[in-house]
Amino acid sequence: MSASFVEFHDLRKSFGAVEVLHGIELAVQQHAFVVLVGPSGCGKSTLLRMIAGLESITSGFISIGGRVVNRIPAKDRGIAMVFQSYALYPHMTVRENLAFSLEMAKIKKDVMKARIERAAGILHLEPLLERFPAQLSGGQRQRVAMGRALVREPELFLFDEPLSNLDAKLRVEMRVEIKALHQRLESTTIYVTHDQVEAMTMADLVVVMNDGRIEQSGPPLDLYDNPATMFVAGFLGSPAMNLIKGTVATDGSAPVLDVGDGLQLPLPAGIREKPGAEIVYGLRPEHVSIGPPGSGLPATITLVEAAGWETHLYADMGQHVARIVSAERLNVAHGDHVSLVPDVSCAHLFDATTGARLSID
Ligand SMILES: Nc1ncnc2c1ncn2[C@@H]1O[C@H](COP(=O)(O)OP(=O)(O)O)[C@@H](O)[C@H]1O
Ligand SMILES: [Mg+2]
């Protein structure tokens, strides 16, 4: 087990009187690929800029490689950052763009040349070295921006939504390239995105942020399978988890959830909440299936998306909209009346007020 490389302790940030980060605690292992993910405005860029030294620390501390960096200027932190806007110098060629920060750091000419060649090789930039940024495609500019970070041979790579300006196909290609690059170089990386698919596919450790706090952190599938809060449950996964609010009741001796319109969802036998408690029932779309008529909850199909390798269905179930994903090509159409069968063993239960996960005996 390698030592933790970056640590945050009770890290806070205020702009004027407004606190936007509320006591961040996190340890990042050396060589890890960590993705900070959360909705726009939750504080991801602010946190990244504080690591880089571009934003002051209001209280708490950040350490990198065992050294507290609160008072260390950006240029001495051993960090390279790639931004959403690639910020290339338009009047410089690709080669000059790559060389610029090394010249500023007074790196020797022969070392500089070797580093540029190495970065250009890794990122397939050799044929582009004499071009200007205006002569490059979006994906090529993005690779130059990464090259500029790479030549500095940083101990820590920071990325702030580097793929947001690319079209969908290129985004997927660059996602694979960045991940492959990390597997080769093993530089500790902290990557910010609002895209949960990027987080799930790229990260060793996903950190879900919401409103200036960490909701949960862990390996991607741990968070997917065991979301600690309703926010994490709803944020990760597409189509999103079904989250249905209701009141605990009993049907004979079996616990059920009243969800209105006379509909009752079966609850796990081990539920601890007493009848009358308000809870939220969470179920991934892949854990709902269509059963024989009368076998489950009556619903009406409103939308069918045939994605090819799977089918996404939306159905009205009383006042609720149910999302269903099937690996099969289902023979259903808009307007069909179906019977939905939830896999109760896969249900996630949450406190309706706090959003915290409820444990089941
Ligand atoms: N320089 C600033 N001055 C005042 N408020 C700011 C500044 N930068 C960011 N904020 C606020 O801090 C919060 C977090 O912003 P940001 O870190 O950019 O979020 P994200 O990157 O997750 O979208 C937002 O409410 C934003 O308006
Ligand atoms: Mg941002």
What pLDDT score does 138 carry? 87
Half-sphere exposure of 82 (CA within 13 A, CB side): 28
Span 224-237, pLDDT tens digits: 999 999 999 999 99
Which atom, in ligand 1's list, is nearest to the CA of 43? 17
Span 281-318, pLDDT tens digits: 999 999 999 999 999 999 999 999 998 889 999 999 99
**What is the overall mean pLDDT for the chain?**
94
What pLDDT score does 169 carry? 86
Taking each helix axis from N to C end, the angle separating 109-122 and 138-150, rounded to the nearest 10 degrees, works out to 140
Span 173-191, pLDDT tens digits: 889 989 998 998 899 999 9
What pLDDT score does 1 carry? 41
Name 127's Cβ contacts closer than 8 Å, sequence gap at least 6.
none
Mutate to test the pocket of ligand 1, among 12, 42, 46 (most ligand atoms within 8 A of CB): 46
What pLDDT score does 252 carry? 87
Distance 213 CA to ligand 1 centre (A): 13
Q: Report which protein residue has its CA nearest ligand 1's atom 21.
A: 45
Rounded Cα gap, residues 9 and 62, in angstroms: 7
Residue 239 has pLDDT above 90, yes or no: yes
Span 90-119, pLDDT tens digits: 999 999 999 998 888 888 999 999 999 988
Q: Tell me what percent of the residues of the chain surpass a pLDDT of 90.
A: 80
Peptide bond into 239 cis (omega under 30): yes
Going from N- to C-terminal start, the domains of the chain cover: 4-227, 242-351
Residue 202 has pLDDT above 90, yes or no: yes
Q: Report which protein residue has its CA nearest ligand 1's atom 27.
A: 41
What pLDDT score does 253 carry? 86
The SS3 call for residue 118 is: helix
Is the Cβ–Cβ distance between 348 and 272 less than 8 Å?
A: no
What pLDDT score does 313 carry? 97
The SS3 call for residue 178 is: helix
Distance 47 CA to ligand 1 centre (A): 10
Q: Which residue has the tokens 């694979």?
A: 176
Mutate to test the pocket of ligand 1, among 11, 18, 20 (most ligand atoms within 8 A of CB): 20
Q: Return the exposure string of 291-317: e unless at least 16 CB atoms fall within 10 Å of the residue's CB, then b.
A: eeeeebbbbebeebeeeeeebbbbbeb
Rounded Cα gap, residues 338 and 291, in angstroms: 8
At 3, the pLDDT band (50, 70, 90 cuts) reads low
Span 28-41, pLDDT tens digits: 999 999 999 999 99
Which atom, in ligand 1's list, is nearest to the CA of 39? 22
Give me the amino acid identity at 331.
N
Residue 2 has pLDDT above 60, yes or no: no
Q: Report which protein residue has its CA nearest ligand 1's atom 5.
A: 15
Rounded Cα gap, residues 82 and 123, in angstroms: 14
Residue 166 has pLDDT above 90, yes or no: no
Q: Which residue has the tokens 């539920």?
A: 271
Q: Report which protein residue has its CA nearest ligand 1's atom 18.
A: 45
Find the residues whose C-beta lies inside 6 A of ligand 1: 15, 20, 38, 40-46
Which of 53, 47, 50 shows the shortest CA–CA distance to 21? 47
Backbone φ and ψ of 341, nearest 5°: -115, 110
Which of 197, 195, 229, 196 shows the shortest CA–CA distance to 214? 229
The CATH architecture assigned to 4-227 reads 3-Layer(aba) Sandwich (3.40)
Distances (CA, A) of 35 to 31, 208, 236: 13, 8, 13
Name 348's Cβ contacts closer than 8 Å, sequence gap at least 6.
227, 233, 241, 281, 282, 283, 357
What pLDDT score does 48 carry? 97
Ligand nearest to the CA of 47: 1
Is the Cβ–Cβ distance between 349 and 360 less than 8 Å?
A: yes
**Which runs of consecutive H residues, i.e. helices, occur in the chain?**
44-52, 94-104, 109-122, 138-150, 168-185, 196-202, 220-225, 230-235
Q: Report which protein residue has its CA nearest ligand 1's atom 7.
A: 15
What pLDDT score does 256 carry? 96
Distance 39 CA to ligand 2 centre (A): 9
What pLDDT score does 316 carry? 97
Half-sphere exposure of 106 (CA within 13 A, CB side): 0
Distance 43 CA to ligand 1 centre (A): 6
The CATH architecture assigned to 242-351 reads Beta Barrel (2.40)
Distances (CA, A) of 335 to 286, 299, 303: 21, 10, 8
Distance 146 CA to ligand 2 centre (A): 18
